[in-house]
Amino acid sequence: MLSLGSGGAKSTKPSFVSYVTPEEIKAEKDPPKKEKHPDLLPGEVEFCSANPILKYSQDDLSQHGVFGTLFCTNFRVTFISDETPQEKTAKTFKNKLYGEKNDIPLMCVDHIYGVYDEKRKLITGGLVKNKYPSKMIIHCKDLRVFQFCLTFTKEEDAKKIFQGIAHHCLEEKSLKCVFAFSYMGTPSPEMLRKQETIMFDSPEDWTQEMKRTKANCRLVIENKNFELSQRLPKYFVIPLAIGDLFSYQGKGLPIWCWSHYSGCALFKASFPPVTQEDGDFQKHLETMINAVAHNYLYSVKTEDLSESLPNIQDIQQSYNKFKQFFLIENSTDFWLSDVKWFSSLESSGWLDIIRQCLQKAVEVVECLEKDNTNVLITEEEGTDLCCVISSLAQIMLDPYYRTLMGFQSLVQKEWVAGCHAFLDRCNHLHQKDKECHSPVFLLFLECVWQLVQQHSPAFQFSETYLTVLSDSVHVPIFSTFLFNSAHHREGVMKAESPLAQSGPLSCPTVWDWSVQFDSKAQNFFYNPLYSEKVKHEKAVRKPHKPKHQRQLSLPSTAFKTPLKKGFFKDETDSLKKMLQVKRLSRWMGSPDSPAATTREFYESWQHRPVDYHGLLLPCLDGPAVRVWMQRYLRWIPEVYILGGGSVAMTTKLMELLSQVQDLKRVLEQRDTSQAAKIDHRPYIQHRLLSFGSSGRLSSSFPFAYTRNRSFKPIIPTGLMQRLMVTDSLASQEDEASSVASFV
């Protein structure tokens, strides 16, 4: 700065004095930032917020991040960054209810940890007596991990947001506090116009299903007002031979699941009331088993799943161990756990439980398909493992349930109408009673995924559909997975909304996918490699096997099939003896063991020609039971394969299939008689465009597009440290040269 007070000479010291602080200068240049708020859903209310909050990124030791505002509403925990969002390509697969990077539905929160003086502590309740932590870590049920730093926020705001999130996510709550009772979204016109998923909430739905499978059973409508039992559906199907229903108190009734084309059927039942005397108990069992036996050929095999499969507590403990290896907080933890990753997964026992359930379902299928005998599976309530095994058996036997609408109808029939206790098993209300918590429905989806990845052309839906369905269980909007029984659902839904006070509640079902995704995103639910069944003018139904035709001519006496050693036992005459015999719960190595007989059945099926619309069995040997990579690894950038993975293989196969279809169209156009025929598969071309080029996609597509590069090598940490030492490299080179010279 020049000073003119000394005859124009240069001053040795600057004489300019500023009376404005830098903060004031910056405030004059930059206008005050507009306070940001989330885009609230209809009925969503903001509870509390805090700013500035640092959201950590998933890098080494999680020391980098972005500043923003953290909000807690009655639907979610959401973070809005202070940075101006960069222009990005519109994402094809996007959830309209919440974002995967910054939103956490309250029902999706699994655990919250507070970091006090570099020590992590599990928060078990909403009321935190100690001071607020410096960092808050949230583990989600969909295996996302969020880390927020609270040290830059005012103490009052930090304490408020921390206790607000802990209270609304961890405290036991009433069911009417769930966001579904406040959500005011309107049902989509598409869902109101056409409901293709069979809901099994009317006699017509059950009648239609019995007609489709040619079941010779009886529809029960006496429980329409739940006078028979509150633990049974409003409508269900039982064997014809059962007479008076009210004397059984709704317990122990064999509920029809599905009928084989030969005439035999699959039934499930809960245990009879334990308050009865021993004589009444055995008499009740005899009545139920004889009723099932009368359904076809007077033969039935029963199985108590509580003795041959893990209980719900074992399932919960195994999954808790398994999921810990996918809740990665930073890349350093990932590389440290990478050395023992496969052995750790195996030690959790989760994959073995999946294998056991698939094995049990194969045994049920063998009884129905090969032995042509009725099957009755039982457990204490008949709504947990019975749902798993019966659903898997139907998927293996009936190709209708491998279509998208068929699979959704199966879930409605066996799980929703079948009174699976979703509210307790999924712990939506954060109850402290851990004995009733168990991911039974997730176990079923895991088993279905094994079938999908082994026999992809047989399924119309994709693994992305199964992943989204597993996520939707914890979205507190849909009524599908929110109740413990049909009686519970109807009683609550008849109550008036606490906000509207205008009448019965109307929550959307999870099958209304337009609530979460637009039509382009829903294309990812379909498997582009699905082998559609060619429709003939008249379907030819398989005739009964000759030996069964001869058996039908036998006198009307109790028919007893040859005794088969294994899990299943023939039940006809000696019921007392049956009750005293303990079922085997492990595979044995003898030729007559269940594993040996089932393997014979499996190998005979393998020698048949491939039929994706016929019987379908899983391979259970060794590494055939795999980890559901898309669900468990989609949030870990270190495992992304840029331009690779299953999406790259699928895209290439779709391109080849598209070329084959083009050639077929050219050939058909040459034949005038074929020109008028409609191609059954034009949608593959459309869905091929939605995938785009496999070179820009990652293995976690469509949940993550590109990879955040990590410069860590994929080698054990100890070996990496040894290789990074220069002296060690030099000595190894000298040793190698000396060895070479010696040779």
The kind and range of the H/E element at 429 are none
Q: State whether residue 267 is helix, strand or coil.
A: strand
| Phi, psi dihedrals of residue 188, rounded to the nearest 5° | -70, 145
| Of residues 604, 602, 566, the one with CA closest to residue 454 | 602
Distance between CA 111 and CA 216 in Å, rounded? Answer: 49
Q: Are 661 and 701 in contact (CB under 8 A)?
A: no
Distance between CA 441 and CA 694 in Å, rounded? Answer: 33
Amino acid at 687: R
DSSP string, 321-338: HHHGGG--SSHHHHHHHH
Distance between CA 459 and CA 476 in Å, rounded? Answer: 28
DSSP class of 490: H
Q: Which two tokens stand for residue 232?
A: 């049974």
The kind and range of the H/E element at 573 are none
| Of residues 38, 113, 187, the one with CA closest to residue 506 | 187
The end-to-end CA distance of the chain, in Å, is 78
Output the pLDDT for position 24.
45
| Phi, psi dihedrals of residue 347, rounded to the nearest 5° | -70, -20
Distance between CA 118 and CA 97 in Å, rounded? Answer: 35
| Phi, psi dihedrals of residue 504, rounded to the nearest 5° | -60, 150
Pairing of strands 236-238, 218-220: antiparallel
Distance between CA 410 and CA 402 in Å, rounded? Answer: 10
Output the pLDDT for position 62.
54
Strand order across the 103-105 sheet: 103-105, 76-81, 65-73, 46-56, 145-149, 135-140, 109-116, 119-123
| Of residues 332, 725, 261, 318, the one with CA closest to residue 539 | 261
Q: Are 410 and 392 in contact (CB under 8 A)?
A: no
Q: What is the pTM of this model?
A: 0.82
Q: Are 300 and 376 in contact (CB under 8 A)?
A: yes
Distance between CA 412 and CA 201 in Å, rounded? Answer: 9
| Phi, psi dihedrals of residue 236, rounded to the nearest 5° | -155, 175
Residue position matching structure tokens 């990496």: 720
Output the pLDDT for position 25.
37
Distance between CA 199 and CA 195 in Å, rounded? Answer: 9
DSSP string, 380-424: SSSSSHHHHHHHHHHHHH-GGGGSHHHHHHHHIIIIITTT--HHH
Distance between CA 547 and CA 40 in Å, rounded? Answer: 66
Q: How many secondary structure helices (H) and strands (E) does the chain include?
A: 25, 15
DSSP string, 69-129: EEEEESSEEEEEESSPPPP-PPPSS--SS--TTTEEEGGGEEEEEEEETTEEEEE-SS---
Distance between CA 77 and CA 266 in Å, rounded? Answer: 44
Q: State whether residue 65 is helix, strand or coil.
A: strand
User: Residue 362, Cβ neighbours under 10 Å: how many?
Assistant: 22
- H-helix segments, 590-713: 594-606, 629-633, 646-670, 683-691
Cβ-in-10-Å burial (0-12, 13-18, 19+) of 127 comes to: exposed
| Of residues 65, 88, 63, 78, the one with CA closest to residue 109 | 78
Q: State whether residue 317 is helix, strand or coil.
A: helix
Return the exposure string of 166-194: e unless at least 16 CB atoms fall within 10 Å of the residue's CB, then b. Answer: bbbbbeebebebbbbbbbebeeeeebeee
| Of residues 105, 99, 96, the one with CA closest to residue 85 | 99
Q: What is the CA radius of gyration of the chain?
A: 31
Positive or negative, the Cα torsion across 409, 410, 415, 417?
Answer: positive
Distance between CA 477 and CA 179 in Å, rounded? Answer: 6
User: Residue 366, Cβ neighbours under 10 Å: how many?
Assistant: 24
Residue position matching structure tokens 């116009």: 193
Q: Which two tokens stand for residue 697?
A: 């996609």
The kind and range of the H/E element at 257 are strand 255-259
Output the pLDDT for position 283.
80
Q: Which stretches of the chain drop beneath a pLDDT of 70?
A: 1-34, 59-63, 85-90, 126-130, 186-195, 247-249, 274-279, 495-505, 535-596, 672-696, 705-743
Q: Are 445 and 408 in contact (CB under 8 A)?
A: no
- H-helix segments, 96-232: 155-170, 189-193, 203-213
